Copies of this chain bind each other. A is one copy, B any other.
Amino acid sequence: MAAQPLNSDLFQKQVENSAKQLTDAITVVSTTHSKQFNWLDQLIRRTTSEANFRVQALRFIDVLPSLKDDLDLTDHLQEYFSNLQLPGFAEWGLKHSDAVWTTRIAAPTIRYTLRGLARKFMGGYKLHHAMSCISRLRHDEMNFTLDLLGEATISEAECEDYKNKYLEMISSLAEPVNNWNENSLLDISHGSHSPKLNFSIKLSSLYSQISSAAPQESINAICKQLRPILRTAISHDAFITIDMEQYDYKHIILGCFRQIIMEDEFKSWPHLGLAMQAYLKETYQDLFNLIELLNTRGTPITIRLVRGAYWDYETVIAKQNNWHCPVWENKNDTDYNYEKCLTLLLQSNTLIHTAIATHNPRSIAFSMALINQLNLNNDQFEFQMLYGMADALKPALIKLGFRLRIYVPYGETLPGMAYLVRRLLENSSSQNLINSGFGQQNKPLHSDSFNAPVATQQTIHLKSIDKKRFKNFSFLRFIDKKQSHQFQDNINQVKNKLGDKYPLIINGKNIFTDVTITSYNPANPLQIIGSVSSANHNFADQALTAADKTFKIWSNTPVRQRADYLRRVAALLSKRRMEFAAWEIFEAGKNWQEADADVCEAIDFLNYYALQAEIISKGENINISGEFNHINYRACGVCLIISPWNFPLAIMCGMLSAAIVTGNTCILKPSSLTPVVAAKFMQLWQEVNIPDGVINFLPGSGKVVGEYLARKPNVNIISFTGSQQVGTNLLKIAARIQPEQSHIKKVIAEMGGKNTIIVDNDADLDDAVLGVVHSAFCFQGQKCSATSRVIVVGNIYKTFVKRLIETTSSLTSGSPENPFNLLGPVIDKNSYDRITNIIKLGQQTATLHNYEAATDTENGYFIKPCIFTDVDPLSPLAQEEIFGPVLSVIKADDFISAINIANNTRYALTGGIYSRQPSHIEYAQKEFYVGNLYINRKTTGAMVHRQPFGGFKMSGTGNKAGGESYLHQFMDAYCITENTLRRGFAPDVENE
């Protein structure tokens, strides 16, 4: 048969011939599974047609295994389905129970139902279940690959544990499986021996501190764990396939694979495979590069080509971050890419063995036609399918003489839920062919099902493309080396610029003073970042005069022009994002991601406030016959801005840009710990030619600049972010009316927090532990939003605390120049002394874990994250803000007690809960008194616009930063009323 172009009509004819062969081979089995699965069809039908039901059903299934008792279970059931015709769902669950609907009866029934569901898609809980499962498959002429389901491995201890389980699994199964009789169809591949034993493994399980920004360190750590597994596989004649995971890990997984297959020890070992995902836009190029590498290896490896199972997740994450979407947004493109990749693979038959992993009839028929055209033997490829999926197709493939391998996951129900939900999701997706009832219901496949997929390469945009709508600036993803290298280059360049001198800026003039503030690298105090001129009273007076004088003309500058200054600075900052992040790494001790996030937030503030100012400036009209009313806002005057060091760019930028875009003029006093970042920031304003006197840059001491100016009668607004003590002092100063003062001073004070996460007893602990750890320890806990208390509800306490401690002790710490280090130093010696002292005192009342502080602070103010357990909720540890990497764990009997403990502070800034019980989530929404409440995620990282940020009680006075009302604080409202009735007549009114 002559080779046909794959996009030709003739080839399509061949696909259709194959399709006919395939459908003819299907023997319809009226009930392929036992009776207890009848309701599954109903569930799938309902979850497909009712979006809300689908969400609730899948979430309920997800939480089910973590529910400890029957009452808990029925509570959850009722809460999840209270608005969704519970009886219908109950019926579904109770179909096979004659008992009355009571808690005692319902719970076991539901559990039985879930186990049934699990059995449909999993090979069992224990190794011996898995053994009998794969034996059954062998009996039915199918190969297997075994996947050990587990919890997310979030600490090195868990990784070690997982590795050991893997080793044990291989050794245990080796003897019985290798003793199976040979089967030439199953055990020969490319004319050679193919191991009977076959395992699939997730590399993320082997190492808990994977960092995209430090790929080589991650690869090294993973390979170190992988090698013993591969050695055991070799010694037991087992085949290992490395599963592909989410896109964030792809570069590292691929990196591991490429590294390990070229190592001498494994270079000639053929029984190693890698899964690749056709839904990724990069996969074709990745395969192409891999083939290049394999040319030098010689020994072939196997590629399992799948479509990919994280489509929802990948698109959601990309959308949330305004990232380029790594997966094809249109399913047609994935289908098209699958065939394209498959063609490449099968054409590279000598270097790569191909596992065609699909349940899609068109893909199978296409493969058959392609194999035919390439003249491949049936042992030169295999098909793979998932356990429990597309069961009607499997015997047909066998009947057609193909080798078929079944992917069999096994493990505990609890960790297996992620897998189960993914399968149910797939089965309930309206795009899924299986849903149409194909096979099971003896429905012939529609011939359209075999049409060639047409590539669209479309990007699906957000529903409403509104140019006016604010979009957050995207974080760096550090997934390709180019980006990391560029970032590293910026670090190196900044390193060469350390030690410069920076001026004050008053009325547009740069002024260098003799007295300066020296800024040090907290990770390396001997390294001077720069020295910044320091203001005295005289300069403060000059700055105030300049700001005062400039106010009139600046406040009368059209808002569009003022907003454009912000946008121009945002554009400069966008271009130089890495440079600014590098400065933060040196001056504030932020790690790569934190530094980048701070720059992004600064850009967001600029763009958001520019837009908001324009919106607000339109005012509001309330017109009626004969009367025109217009409500609008005007600038207040001179704004004194006192900004903190912990978000040295973003917070300062937000406070400053809000003040000036609304027409106020400013005096900016940055933190004396991060004055260089501030000085660099000022250079941007000079570059965009901000008029003289609008921003007067006045580094200096709090007393000499801050307090002194706060007292001045012609300061109108004091915008402060920092400690409660300084904030309340400023409030007091501002409330004292000075002679000649002609306005009440406004004080916008964003202060501290004592933030709590509550971990409910039905929480997803994988998520909860990681969320708590990141909320508490990232940037060493030096965020006002950082979690410093975790309250654990009920019987999960032990498990949670164990995992928390292990995970915390796995965190990497060290110089933030190296992206491998998640954690860095605290900001300065004062902080170091204060925090270490708190830890010392805390030990008198609570149990300390993980504590380790640098003994020699000359090499940086490092304090490794530590945890206190057995903490009294009223003790200083649990009440005072620490602003360091110290977390207190408190136990609560139930959720309501937990909320009460959480509220029992003077602060109300952030808070979080991890819970999957709807009533608890609702209760927290009402009763957890914090400015920003986070549900099932970390408490840090509020995004401009989406999560307006700020607290109340002693945490602050102001409107939320990054929210619609923030700018109003910098303005006075006025209302203009015009009587338009003149001589008895008035113009028509439109909005009446």
Interface residues of A, Cβ cutoff 8 Å to B: 51-52, 55, 58-59, 62, 309-310, 312-313, 315-317, 319-320, 417-418, 421-422, 425, 462-464, 556, 620, 622, 624-627, 629-631, 634, 636, 728, 731-732, 734-737, 741-744, 746, 749, 764, 905-906, 908, 916, 921, 925-926, 929-937, 942, 945-950, 952-954, 956-957, 959-960, 963-965, 968, 972-979, 981-988, 992
Contact = CB atoms under 8 A, between A and B. Distances in A.
Nearest to A984: B313
**CB-CB nearest 9 A-B residue pairs:** A735-B735, A952-B972, A937-B979, A316-B626, A935-B978, A313-B984, A742-B906, A421-B983, A316-B625
Contacts of A982: 58-59, 62, 764, 916, 936
A974 B942 CA distance: 12
Given A984-B312, A984-B422, A744 B62 contact: no
Contacts of A908: 972
B931 A979 contact: no
Contact of A732 (B631, B735, B975): B735
A742 B954 contact: yes
Majority SS of interface residues in chain A? Answer: mixed
A964 B425 CA distance: 45
A977 B935 contact: yes
Given A735-B731, A926-B556, A954-B744, A947 B977 contact: yes
A980 B908 CA distance: 24
B973 A462 contact: no
Contacts of A320: 624-627
Given A422-B983, A425-B985, A953 B622 contact: no
7 contacts: A418-B984, A421-B984, A620-B964, A629-B947, A746-B957, A935-B976, A950-B973
Contact of A985 (B313, B957, B986): B313
Contacts of A925: 630, 976
Contact of A953 (B627, B742, B981, B986): B742
A619 B948 CA distance: 13
Given A316-B625, A742-B953, A981-B313, A987 B463 contact: no
A949 B975 contact: yes
Contacts of A973: 931, 948, 950, 952, 959-960, 963, 965
A764 B963 CA distance: 45
A46 to B, nearest CB: 15
Contact of A622 (B749, B764, B946, B975): B946
A51 B987 CA distance: 8
Contacts of A960: 631, 973, 975
Nearest to A972: B952
Given A731-B735, A932-B976, A965-B973, 12 more contacts: A51-B987, A313-B984, A319-B624, A728-B744, A732-B736, A732-B737, A743-B954, A925-B976, A931-B974, A933-B974, A935-B977, A965-B965
B744 A737 contact: no
B62 A933 contact: no
A418 B319 contact: no
Contacts of A953: 742-744
Contacts of A948: 631, 973, 975
A933 B987 contact: no
Contacts of A417: 983
Contacts of A55: 987
A556 B728 CA distance: 30
Contacts of A315: 625
B316 A986 contact: yes
A492 B158 CA distance: 87
A84 to B, nearest CB: 13
A409 to B, nearest CB: 14
Contacts of A425: 983-985
Nearest to A54: B987
Given A982-B59, A983-B58, A984-B425, A744 B957 contact: yes
B310 A984 contact: yes
B622 A934 contact: no
A137 B789 CA distance: 98
Nearest to A730: B735
A953 B931 CA distance: 29
Nearest to A938: B979
Contacts of A963: 631, 973, 975
A629 B926 CA distance: 15
A462 to B, nearest CB: 6
Nearest to A637: B953
B977 A937 contact: yes
A62 B935 contact: no
A949 B975 CA distance: 8
A344 B947 CA distance: 72
Contacts of A992: 319, 462-464
Contacts of A422: 983-984
A728 B732 contact: no
Contacts of A921: 978
A473 to B, nearest CB: 15
A348 B590 CA distance: 98
A852 B746 CA distance: 43
A153 B791 CA distance: 78
Contact of A946 (B629, B731, B984): B629
